[in-house]
Amino acid sequence: MGHGLAVLTAVVSITATVPAQAGRSCESRKPVPPQVIERGMKLAEQTSSALDAEHAKSGAQVVALARAGQDLSKYGLRYSHMGWAYKTAEGPWRVAHKLNECGTAVGHLYRQGLGEFFLDDLWRYEAVYAVPTPEVQQRLLAVLQDKGRTKALQHQPYSMVSYAWGRKYQQSNQWALETLALAMEPATVRSRDQAQAWLQFKGYEPTTLRLGPLTRMGGRVGSANIAFDDHPNEKRFSDRIETVTVDSVLAWMQRTQLAATPVVLMIKN
């Protein structure tokens, strides 16, 4: 109870300054309704308990963690945003992830507690995590504990639908995936193109979104954080937008045995 109250106090204290979540406009900076805080905190506490149990059982120190911030069901997707959660020496779990700034065309990296990670008006109060193999965890932890290496492949220009094999933009899930490549092959992966080459070699397959010309035009005109000009013309003009999604990353990590089967956590609205 004491720990939960301490976490809640910390979360409430930052509600006025928490950065806009990935893909959100600056309306996210309005005061957060109490019910949103309550539901987000319940999900954060449930996630913390589950991750602590994983740590006690197997020594897990790093997991892929994702949330359902937007309704992507029309694309056959369940989750919208992921980061790498790691257990700190002090005990609490922290999440390293990339966030889009107020719907603009830039994104930056953050390290946040679980309360902050879920402090948003989520589409669905559901989390999913996957525990990587011990070797993958060890390599990722070394990167996450080093601010310089964590930022090594961060690319500020942002598009929510950035081309999975392009370098003009970089969305949040793309940073997380490319950083995994950096962690796994530190001797050879020093740039985004090298990271993407490793991911292709390892069989990663991005999600192909079927977006027609009117949808593309409306998205580009109406949002600074959506761009399609990095996609190859032959794919873009045949309505095939290939981008990195949480669902595709988790499926690939399980298929290649880089991580265990994803675990779903949820609370009722």
Give the domains, in start order, of the chain with CATH numbers: 2-266 (3.90.1720.10)
Q: Tokens 């090594």 belong to which residue?
A: 152
pLDDT at 269: 58
Give one DSSP letter per residue of 176-224, joined into a string: HHHHHHHHH-TTT--SHHHHHHHHHHTT---EEEE--HHHHHHHHHH-T
Partnered with residue 66 across adjacent β-strands are: 82, 128
Using the 8-state DSSP alphabet, how is residue 64 labeled? E
Range list of H helices, the chain: 2-14, 34-58, 114-117, 134-144, 147-150, 172-184, 192-201, 213-222, 233-236, 246-255
pLDDT, residue 93, reads: 98
pLDDT in the model for residue 120: 75
Q: What is the pLDDT of residue 29?
A: 58
Check residue 185 and give its pLDDT. 97
Two tokens, residue 116: 């902050």
Whole-prediction pTM value? 0.88
Q: What is the pLDDT of residue 1?
A: 35
Q: How many CB atoms lie within 10 A of CB 186?
A: 14
Cα–Cα dist 165/99, whole Å:
20
Residue type, 160: M
How confident is the prediction along the chain (269 residues), in pLDDT tens digits per residue?
A: 334 433 333 333 333 333 334 434 455 456 778 888 999 999 999 999 999 999 999 999 999 999 999 999 999 999 999 999 999 999 999 999 999 988 899 999 999 999 999 987 799 999 999 999 999 999 999 999 999 999 999 999 999 999 999 999 999 999 999 999 999 999 999 999 999 999 999 999 999 998 765 455 444 545 789 999 999 999 988 889 999 999 999 999 999 999 999 999 998 75
- pLDDT given for residue 3 in this prediction: 43
